[in-house]
Amino acid sequence: MHEAVIIVSVMETVTGDPGTGEDGWRAIPADLGEDGGTILSERQLQLWTLVLQARTVPYRSAPCGTGWQLLVPLEAYPLALGELRQYEERNRNWPPPAPVTPVQYNNTLVTLSVLLLLATFHNITQLDASRFGYRYVDWYAIGSADAARMLDGEWWRAVTALTLHANWLHLFSNLTIGGFFIVCLCRELGSGVAWCLLLCSGILGNAANTLVQQPDHVSVGASTAVFAAVGSLAAISVVRYRQFPSKRWTLPAAAALALLGLLGTEGTQTDLGAHFFGFLFGIGFGLGGEFLINRYGRPGPLVNALLVLAGAGTVVAAWGVAIVYV
């Protein structure tokens, strides 16, 4: 209502060309020059009136043709023009252009195939190989993240525990909920980079968890790597959109913390420490991965393939040492 009153009064006091200053007011040029046109867009009018308000410069606004005019008293004209020029100079290149979102990798089938292998391995651990003439292997005894044994030097357990699950429900939750985040991460970084990132985060997460747990603590599951995926995706979003509040880069980070609180602490047998450290290392590796990609570019198919083989080789080697050792 107040704005409407101002506009009416301006229309009553402005006669002829509002830019001539015949009534003691002068219109601000749209290009802030001396003799430019004085018609402003609505957005430009709103920004400039805020600048003048902040500097306590009196002004009036009036509709004119297809736009608006911003008028100031003749004695305040030099001050208003100087303030607006300073504002435009300081904000000439702001906000910076939004970063171009990289084209995502089309590797969903590859990622799901790895998850299927994880489910297949779970079936193998449930079989009694002694029925077929092979030596019985207690996969959980030799591969779980047993804190006392890990502190005693059985380092491979930090790797092998990621491939074991207590039951089908445990496996299913990791494959469904975790699979979604892992697929997203692989599409962002590529399968090789993403899986190596998850493997390193999971290994370090299990190792760090061992240091804060009691010696009788034993855990299994890929959830450490799942929460690493959540942390990595949040970190990547923060890096890409750190200068763009309008992109709401804080939402992925808040969602990640909410997921950690919701799923990471639910259940009496939930290993909160493994989830937390996986999430923490995931953030670190996510930041590092995004930095390297920004600096050196995204890895090609050959590099991704080599990284996938390196990750798979690490898991196979760890199980080989576990079986030979016992």
* Distance (Å) of CA 83 to CA 50, 52, 64, 90, 139: 11, 8, 23, 11, 74
Please check whether residues 86 and 126 belong to one and the same domain. Answer: no
Residue 192 within a domain? yes
Residue 219 within a domain? yes
| Residues sharing a CB contact under 8 Å with residue 169, sequence separation 6 or more, in sequence order | none
d(CA 65, CA 45): 14
Please check whether residues 169 and 313 belong to one and the same domain. Answer: yes
Please check whether residues 234 and 170 belong to one and the same domain. Answer: yes
3-state percent breakdown (helix, strand, coil) of the chain, nearest 5: 65, 5, 30
- Say which CATH number the domain at 54 has: 3.30.70.1530
Query: Which of 64, 91, 118 is the C-terminal boundary of a domain?
Result: 91
Please check whether residues 164 and 259 belong to one and the same domain. Answer: yes
- Say which CATH number the domain at 227 has: 1.20.1540.10
Per-residue model confidence (pLDDT) at position 286:
92
**Residues 128-155: tens digit of each pLDDT:** 766 555 667 889 999 999 999 999 999 9
Residue 55 within a domain? yes
Q: In the predicted model, what is the mean pLDDT of residues 232-242? A: 82
Please check whether residues 168 and 52 belong to one and the same domain. Answer: no
Residue 5 within a domain? no
Please check whether residues 240 and 204 belong to one and the same domain. Answer: yes
Residue ranges making up the domain that contains 254: 107-325
- DSSP 8-class letter at 167: S
24-38, 56-70, 137-151, range with the lowest pLDDT: 24-38
Would you say residue 156 has pLDDT above 80? Answer: yes
Per-residue model confidence (pLDDT) at position 164:
93
Per-residue model confidence (pLDDT) at position 16:
37
pTM for the whole structure: 0.67
**Residues 91-120: tens digit of each pLDDT:** 776 655 555 556 667 778 888 888 899 999
8 A C-beta contact, residue 145 and residue 161: yes
Look over the chain and give the mean of its residue pLDDT values, rounded to a whole number: 81
Q: Which residue among the candidates 122, 165, 170, 275 is catalytic per the annotation? A: 275
Would you say residue 36 has pLDDT above 90? Answer: no
Query: Which of 91, 125, 148 is the C-terminal boundary of a domain?
Result: 91
Please check whether residues 43 and 132 belong to one and the same domain. Answer: no
Please check whether residues 227 and 296 belong to one and the same domain. Answer: yes
- The question of whether 130 is a catalytic residue gets the answer no
Would you say residue 166 has pLDDT above 90? Answer: no
Would you say residue 7 has pLDDT above 70? Answer: no
Residue 291 within a domain? yes
Please check whether residues 193 and 286 belong to one and the same domain. Answer: yes
Please check whether residues 150 and 295 belong to one and the same domain. Answer: yes
What are residue 219's phi and psi, to 5 degrees?
-145, 155
Would you say residue 304 has pLDDT above 90? Answer: no
Would you say residue 261 has pLDDT above 70? Answer: no
* Distance (Å) of CA 157 to CA 8, 64, 137, 210, 223: 79, 76, 15, 11, 15
- The question of whether 275 is a catalytic residue gets the answer yes
User: CA quadruple 155, 156, 162, 168: dihedral positive or negative?
Assistant: negative
Please check whether residues 241 and 318 belong to one and the same domain. Answer: yes
Residue 57 within a domain? yes
- DSSP 8-class letter at 97: P
Number of Cβ atoms within 10 Å of the Cβ of 310: 13
pLDDT level of residue 237 (50, 70, 90 thresholds): confident
Per-residue model confidence (pLDDT) at position 204:
96
Residue 231 within a domain? yes
Q: Which residue among the candidates 61, 173, 201, 223 is catalytic per the annotation? A: 223
Residue 3 within a domain? no
Please check whether residues 111 and 85 belong to one and the same domain. Answer: no
- Nearest in space to 189 (alpha carbons), one of 296, 39, 90, 72: 296
**Could you tell me what percent of the chain has a pLDDT over 90?**
32
Domain count, the chain: 2
Q: In the predicted model, what is the mean pLDDT of residues 116-126? A: 88
- Nearest in space to 156 (alpha carbons), one of 142, 166, 176, 174: 142
Q: In the predicted model, what is the mean pLDDT of residues 62-82? A: 89
Query: Which of 91, 122, 147 is the C-terminal boundary of a domain?
Result: 91
Per-residue model confidence (pLDDT) at position 267:
46
